[in-house]
């Protein structure tokens, strides 16, 4: 019986990069029935809800979703589909590896970070109101439950993936109660994992250290807003938004998507870099137990960017989305299993 996966192509460059990703997945021998759905600006344009219930029902059934970016209006309009999706399905851990790939432009040679971001609360709880005209309040919610479960996720991930150290990132010197609770939960969970080193940094100092010597860090654990910002910073250390993958993981469901957005400035031009979503799909393959296919696809991607130097415009090359995709499809015939399985 074929595996069913929910596919959300999304907005802007979303359909271009999801099409390219499905193409390489199928060429690599991954067989799935894709349940295609619309959400976000495209759904609204069709008179639908931004996040239709049938999308949540589909992911509830299939348990796995491959998702393109979805446009969110700034300062007005509908609430972020991404935030709604993560909260509705309790996709509490956002996993964002950022690793140097030889051959890609970047100032550092050996960055190998895994960022875990709490995905359901913090300042993204969406609880905002106007107190009086000219004064608004936005609530930051931090709970023991969410802080503990995301900490445990990070330590379990570290153990399963040979990681040695987790640094919790916070501002507990100023937000003593909220960030203080996040840090306390992290430290409590850390006691259960004596084999993994656990330390912490204040967010502003962390940002400085990350742009000076990112290679000294292993895994970072952050609450929602800090994780959002720092993972984009980390993307910039390893080649940019066009290459970094992501996964949103809950108890029962998981949604795999790139860190980048719908890039309206280049949408429809055929120049978007599909590598970030393809590498998110590698995380998906490991998640569904298809690690051999993941390693082969990973090796093909490396061959194309490192040896053949087929790069899209954001990486200083000239290749279109289609040319890069077809180069990866051809490389699949030449590579074997990549024993390192790097993502
Ligand atoms: P963005 O990530 O879409 O674009 C930032 C810059 O990076 C742009 O210059 C864009 O051309 C470039 N870029 C991004 N991805 C690229 C790729 N794959 N290949 C080549 N260049 C790429 O961020 P922006 O402009 O702030 O957001 C646009 C929309 O995306 C907004 O509506 C935002 O809310 C939404 N968004 C959605 C996300 C999601 O669905 N997970 C995540 C982030 C933003």
Average pLDDT, the chain: 94
In this model, does residue 293 exceed pLDDT 60? Answer: yes
Q: Spell out a b/e string for 260-270, using b for 16 or more CB atoms within 10 Å of the CB, else e.
A: bbbbeebbeee
- What is the residue with the minimal CA distance to atom 6 of ligand 1? 263
Best residue for ligand 1 mutational test, from 74, 260, 317, 325 (most atoms within 8 Å of Cβ): 260
pLDDT tier at 339, thresholds 50, 70, 90: low
Measure 69 CA to ligand 1 centroid, in angstroms.
8
Catalytic residue among 157, 171, 179, 226: 171
Closest ligand 1 atom to residue 260 Cα is 2
- What is the residue with the minimal CA distance to atom 38 of ligand 1? 261
For the ranges 163-167, 249-253, 336-340, the lowest mean pLDDT is seen at 336-340
226 catalytic per annotation? no
Specify the CATH number of the domain 1-103+238-343: 3.40.718.10
204 catalytic per annotation? yes
In this model, does residue 191 exceed pLDDT 60? Answer: yes
179 catalytic per annotation? no
- What is the residue with the minimal CA distance to atom 4 of ligand 1? 263
pLDDT at 331 (0 to 100):
96
In this model, does residue 329 exceed pLDDT 70? Answer: yes
Ligand 1 lining (C-beta closer than 6 Å) = 13, 17, 69-72, 82, 241-242, 257, 260-266, 272-273, 276, 314
pLDDT tier at 337, thresholds 50, 70, 90: low
Pick the CATH number of 107-237 from 2.40.10.220, 3.10.350.10, 3.40.718.10, 3.40.190.10: 3.40.718.10
pLDDT at 338 (0 to 100):
63
Closest ligand 1 atom to residue 273 Cα is 19
Closest ligand 1 atom to residue 313 Cα is 20
In this model, does residue 341 exceed pLDDT 60? Answer: no
Closest ligand 1 atom to residue 246 Cα is 41
Sequence ranges of the domains in the chain = 1-103+238-343, 107-237
pLDDT at 315 (0 to 100):
92
pLDDT at 340 (0 to 100):
60
1-103+238-343 matches 107-237 in fold: yes
pLDDT tier at 325, thresholds 50, 70, 90: very high
Measure 71 CA to ligand 1 centroid, in angstroms.
8
Q: What is the pLDDT of residues 204-218, one digit of tens each?
A: 999 999 999 999 999
Report percent pLDDT > 90 for the chain: 83
- What is the residue with the minimal CA distance to atom 41 of ligand 1? 69
pLDDT tier at 2, thresholds 50, 70, 90: confident
Measure 17 CA to ligand 1 centroid, in angstroms.
12
pLDDT at 77 (0 to 100):
74
Measure 117 CA to ligand 1 centroid, in angstroms.
18
| Residue 162, phi-psi category: left (phi > 0), alpha (psi -120 to 50), beta (remainder) | left
Report percent pLDDT > 70 for the chain: 98
For the ranges 6-15, 97-106, 194-203, the lowest mean pLDDT is seen at 97-106
199 catalytic per annotation? no
pLDDT tier at 231, thresholds 50, 70, 90: very high
- What is the residue with the minimal CA distance to atom 32 of ligand 1? 71
Tokens 């994780």 sit at which residue? 227
Q: Averaged over 79-83, what is the pLDDT?
A: 85
In this model, does residue 94 exceed pLDDT 60? Answer: yes
Measure 261 CA to ligand 1 centroid, in angstroms.
3
pLDDT tier at 1, thresholds 50, 70, 90: low
Measure 21 CA to ligand 1 centroid, in angstroms.
17
Calculate the dihedral angle through the C-alpha atoms of 31, 33, 39, 43, rounding to the nearest 10 degrees: 130
Q: What is the pLDDT of residues 66-76, one digit of tens each?
A: 999 999 877 77
pLDDT at 161 (0 to 100):
93
pLDDT at 250 (0 to 100):
97
Catalytic residue among 33, 57, 199, 204: 204
Q: Averaged over 331-342, what is the pLDDT?
A: 75
pLDDT tier at 342, thresholds 50, 70, 90: low
Q: What is the pLDDT of residues 34-67, one digit of tens each?
A: 999 999 888 888 888 889 999 999 999 999 999 9
In this model, does residue 248 exceed pLDDT 80? Answer: yes
Measure 33 CA to ligand 1 centroid, in angstroms.
28
Best residue for ligand 1 mutational test, from 67, 263, 316 (most atoms within 8 Å of Cβ): 263
Closest ligand 1 atom to residue 272 Cα is 19
pLDDT tier at 307, thresholds 50, 70, 90: confident
């Amino acid at each position: 019986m074929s595996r069913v996966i929910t596919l959300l192509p999304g907005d802007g460059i979303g359909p271009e990069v999801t099409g390219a990703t499905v193409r390489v997945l199928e060429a690599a021998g991954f067989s799935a029935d894709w349940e295609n759905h619309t959400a976000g600006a495209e759904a609204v344009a069709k008179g639908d809800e931004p996040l239709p219930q049938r999308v949540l029902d589909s992911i509830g059934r299939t348990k796995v979703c491959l998702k393109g970016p979805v446009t969110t209006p700034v300062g007005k309009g509908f609430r972020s589909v991404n935030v709604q999706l993560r909260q509705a399905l309790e996709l509490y851990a956002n996993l964002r590896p950022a690793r140097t790939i030889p051959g890609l432009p970047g100032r550092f040679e050996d960055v190998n970070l895994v960022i875990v971001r709490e995905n359901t609360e913090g300042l993204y709880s969406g609880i905002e109101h106007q107190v009086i005209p000219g004064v608004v309040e936005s609530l930051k919610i931090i709970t023991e439950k969410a802080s503990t479960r995301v900490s445990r996720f990070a330590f379990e991930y570290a153990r399963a993936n040979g990681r040695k150290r987790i640094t919790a990132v916070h501002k507990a010197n100023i937000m003593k109660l909220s960030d203080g609770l996040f840090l306390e939960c992290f430290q409590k969970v850390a006691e259960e994992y004596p084999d993994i080193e656990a330390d912490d940094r204040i967010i502003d100092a962390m940002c400085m250290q990350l742009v000076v010597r990112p290679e000294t860090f292993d895994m970072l654990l952050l609450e929602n807003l800090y994780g959002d910002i720092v993972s984009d910073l980390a993307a910039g250390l390893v080649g940019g938004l066009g290459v970094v993958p992501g996964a949103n993981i809950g108890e029962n469901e998981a949604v795999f998507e790139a860190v980048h957005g719908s890039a309206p400035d280049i949408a429809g031009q055929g120049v978007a870099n599909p590598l970030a979503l393809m590498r998110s799909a590698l995380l998906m393959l490991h998640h569904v137990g298809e690690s051999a296919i993941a390693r082969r696809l990973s090796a093909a991607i490396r061959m194309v960017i490192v040896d053949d130097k087929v790069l899209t415009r954001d990486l200083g090359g000239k290749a279109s989305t289609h040319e890069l995709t077809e180069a990866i499809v051809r490389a699949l015939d030449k590579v074997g299993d990549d024993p390192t399985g790097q993502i």
